[in-house]
Structure formats: C-alpha cells, structure tokens
Amino acid sequence: MTETMAPELTPWALASIAAGLFAVDPQGCGGVAVRAHAGPVRDRWLEQLRQLLPAKAPMRRLPLHIADGRLLGGLDLAATLKAGKPIAERGLLAECDGGVAVMAMAERLTSSTAGRVAAVMDAHEVVLERDGLGMRVPTRFGVVALDEGMSEEEQVPDVLMDRLAFHMDLIPIAVRDMDEPLWTSEDVTRARAILPEVEVSDKILEALCGTARALGIASLRVPFLALRAARAAAALDGRNQVAEEDAALAARLVLAPRATMLPPSEEEMPEEQEPPPPEEPPEEEQKPEDQEDQDPAELDKPLEDRVLEAAKASLPAGLLAQLQAGLGARSRSSAAGKAGALQQGNRRGRPIGTRRGELRAGARLNVIETLRAAAPWQPLRRAQALADGSSPKSLRVHVRRDDFRITRFKQRTETTTIFAVDASGSAALHRLAEAKGAVELLLADCYIRRDRVGLIAFRGVQADLLLPPTRSLVRAKRSLAGLPGGGGTPLASAIDAVRELAESVKRRGETPVAVFLTDGRANIARDGSQGRSKAMEDALAAAKELAAEQLKIILVDTSPRPQRSGQELAMAMQAQYLPLPHADAATLSSAVQTASS
C-alpha cells in the first residue's frame, strides 16, 4: 500500500482503491457514491467491484420507484391466498444481506425511500410491521449509489450520502485511462480474515478527527467511516496495525471530497516562539532507511498535519478556488429551478403509495394492495360465509369495502414567475437597462423550463400588467423592449398588482413566484398622491398583505447605494433580499436564479 499513497495517483487508480477498500468491508464503509454516466467506464468499475467481492455475496439492483413492499418485504399475496394464512416475503434489502445494493439513478431517489434504506443501514435489520405481519429480519449490506445527474444540482439525498464513505467522480475518466485492478479476490478474502484483528492507535484517531474538523466536516459519522477505510487499507496490506499511510489514504478518499473549508495556512497561524534547535545526533548514528529520502521538516510535523496535507493534496484546483471564495462544496439541495409545489391527489401524477378509501371522485383502485389487505382475513370470512349457508364451491376471495386501497399520486404544479420591474425615474436613471437585461435572461431561463411568466411594470402613478402569464418568449421580450422609463415610483400599487395576479395564478392550480427589481424608494401612494412618507407606509402595508399569501418572493435592490428602505420592504413581505448595486445583467440574472433555487 505504500506505493498507492503517492500523490500522483490517477483518478482511475483512486476509484480502484476505493473499490478494493469497499470490497473488504462493505458494511463498515457504508458504500460508494459513484457520479458517472452510463458507459464503459462505469460498467468496468462495477465489474471490478463484482470480481473483488466474494462469489456468494449478493449484488442486487434496486429500481428507482421501488415499492415499500418490495424494498422492505411484506405479504406474499399468491402464497397467502393459496395457504389461507399470512405468508411473508423477503424484501430486496433483506436479500442483500452480506452483499451490496446497487441503486441506479440515485439522484432521483425520493427522500422517503432514501430514509428507509438509511434506517435499515443503521439498525442492521428490517423492521416489518404491515399487512398484518410483524417481524425483524437481520441484514447488513453496503450501498453503491449511481449518480447519473446531468447537472450539479441533481444530487443523491443527504441522508444517504452521509452514510457512504467514498464519493467518486468517474466522469473525467476516459476509457484509455483504465488500468488493471490493483488486487484480486484472493487478496480481498485474506484482508477480510485479517480485518477483525486490525488495531488503531489513539494518535491515528486524533489525526482523522482533527483533519475532519480542519476541513469543516460537521458530521460525526465521517471520521468513523475514514477509520473503517484505514483499517481496510491496513488489512489489504497484510498488517494488523493501522499505519500513517493508511490514515492518509483514508483522509484522501473519505474526508477530502467532503471538505467545506480550507484549513488555515501557516501564514495565518499565530506566531509562536520557535523552540531551541535539537541537539545534532552523533555522526556515527545512521537514520532509518525509510527516512533517508524524507525532509527532516516533514518528519517533525505532527501526524494530524501530515494526514491533513494528504487530504489537501487530493482536492482539485477548482474546489480549492471555490473554498477560498467561501462557496464551499457542491450544494446538496434539491434540483434548482422554480419547480412548482408538490400536489397530491388520486387521479394523475407519480404513484406514491396507497390509502384506504372509497371508489368515488375518479379514484383509482389498486387491485394488488386491495387483495393484500383482504388476504389475512380470508379464513375468517370463509368460515363466516359457510356458517351463513354459502356453497363451498362459490367461495372465492372475499373483498369488503374496508379492504379497498386507492392509489395516491403526486405531481408538481406549473410555475408562474411574476416579474415586477421598476421603471420610475430613479430606476431609469441608474439601473433600468441592467434590469431589462437581467429580466430577459431570466425569461429565457423560464422558457427552457417551460414555466409561465408575467410582467408588471410600475411608473408614474400606477402599475401596469404588460404581459399576462404566458410561455411565449417573443411576446415577453417585445413587451420588455418597449418599456419606457420615467415618472414616480408607485410601489404600493405594484405590490397590490403582484398580489392580485398571484391569487389568480393560485386559482388555476399553479405556483406563483414573485421577483421585484426596484430601488425601494416609493414616492407615490396608493391613491396616487405624492409624498415619500405616505408612499412608504402604503408600500409596507401592501407588502404585509402580500406576505400573507405565503409566496416565494425575491426583492433585488438595484439602487447604486442600497438603503434601509429596501431591507424593511423585503422584511415586511418576507422576501429574500438581494442588494446588487454594481451588478450587470448577467450577475443579476445569476443571483436571482440562485436565490430562487
């Protein structure tokens, strides 16, 4: 393993090392998150992992929209109806015991499915209490989450990522970069036999925990996962003691991909008095062979610093620049974009389960789940039917109204983005051109997502609806291009117009999002009279009424010197406040897109 610690390791070599460590201890390491598109590189890595795992270790694929009954187990309908008593079937997680569960398109996993898998990983058992069954099935497995997201916003759920030791990115790897595996299945088998005897010193534990803290890793699970990886590395090297290079490798593979901050550099550390130089050893003493080629300064560094340097060496240059800019690692939020709110019903959308209900109002009967609910009661119902004088030949499956199960669906509603653009004299003097450019970019972004957009401009003594909600990008740009500037700032009227339009959008079953681009300096009251004090009072009152609608609202302060009035207005309408005094059109558009995600 000493050679594998070299910092010049290729991405494919690091991925191969991660596969080997995971094969040694799949349950302890939790799993591997593999960001890669479907192709020969990902297939080769999966095949390499399959060859390293024991021949008897199961490797099951979990479908994306797997039902709870198949995931956790439940009532075996055919066997139950045949036997006349409840018969349980094992779920996929129970079938993965001692092996690996492969999740395709893991970035699209629902939070509920990811939570159930995480709960089983933590408890090491499937707790089944449904369909008249109550049982506990022990199971220990590792997870390979295949992240096929096309954009940075598509991410595997956090509840699952936090339990997977290795986060690998295979996208930059070309077919020509792939090499032969570093280990064989026999090496992994020997390492598995040694693993229970591998010991870890307190210095190694302190070094891993200190490195995690220095990299801004808040999760307490991550140092434990790094420790598991270090023990697997020592076992693969045939040792029963974790060495420094094992800890450095674990920091590189487990801690570095999770870094959210850079540790302070030596220049930022407080100055301390230099200790007196150590006495020089006698000339006749010889240094150990493994230290002859090392810098004495490196040997004097604490173990934690050396492990931290190994982790920092594996950070890509782009990530370092982001961390230095304070941006942190990739956002783990859900998909960006102004996707509409989730709406649940029983008519259309994506199935999300069943519920007890009656067949009315267009509800869809789930026949399989209805039979599952009725199956445990068949012996009692048949006996009751015979007691009532029914013929034995006519006894089929007895289904009653209480057994009916209705399929539930969910779907995202369409989104309508309402732009309110300040075209008053103060805005026209300073930022109207940039605001128009930003709105055009945002309109194009909405068009790509097939969102509807509406445009309200306010100037003079009132606010005008220039463009009712539409998907026509041409109409939106034409309305914006013809927008003149000048006059007063009827901010209260604009807020009222946005609220009325948002209410009509809600009545159509859509999700409204409001974006204000203004300097926040109202000087026209609701009744059309002039006066900054009265105009601001009306604007704040209108903002509070808009806040009661519970919309997502973004207020972009485009004034050259943001004033407190803009912040107070955003606070009153419970909006996200973005002061962008010197931003161009592209920056304005990017900031609004980020805030609305």
Instruction: Give the pLDDT score at 215.
Output: 86
State both tokens at 74. Answer: 């439940």
Instruction: Give the pLDDT score at 325.
Output: 43
Lowest mean pLDDT among 85-89, 133-137, 236-240, 580-584: 580-584
Domain boundaries, the chain: 3-182, 365-410, 415-596
State both tokens at 476. Answer: 């939106």
pLDDT digits (tens, 9 = 90+) for 514-529: 888 888 888 888 888 8
Stronger pLDDT, 299 or 160, i.e. the higher one: 160
What is the identity of the amino acid at 554?
I
530 burial via Cβ count (<10 Å: 0-12, 13-18, 19+): exposed
Of 54, 21, 409, nearest to 229 (Cα)? Answer: 21
Instruction: Give the pLDDT score at 329.
Output: 39
Instruction: Give the pLDDT score at 43.
Output: 93
Give dist(CA 65, CA 104) in Å, integer. 10
Confidence of residue 337 (pLDDT cuts 50, 70, 90): very low
Structural domain 415-596, CATH architecture: 3-Layer(aba) Sandwich (3.40)
Lowest mean pLDDT among 350-359, 543-552, 579-588: 579-588
pLDDT digits (tens, 9 = 90+) for 398-423: 788 788 888 877 666 678 888 888 88
Instruction: Give the pLDDT score at 590.
Output: 66
Confidence of residue 253 (pLDDT cuts 50, 70, 90): very high
Q: CATH 3.30.1490.20: does it fit domain 3-182?
A: no
Percent of the chain with pLDDT over 70: 73
For the chain, the maximum distance between any two Cα atoms, rounded to a whole number of angstroms, is 108
203: pLDDT strictly greater than 50: yes
State both tokens at 378. Answer: 């068949």
What is the identity of the amino acid at 592?
V
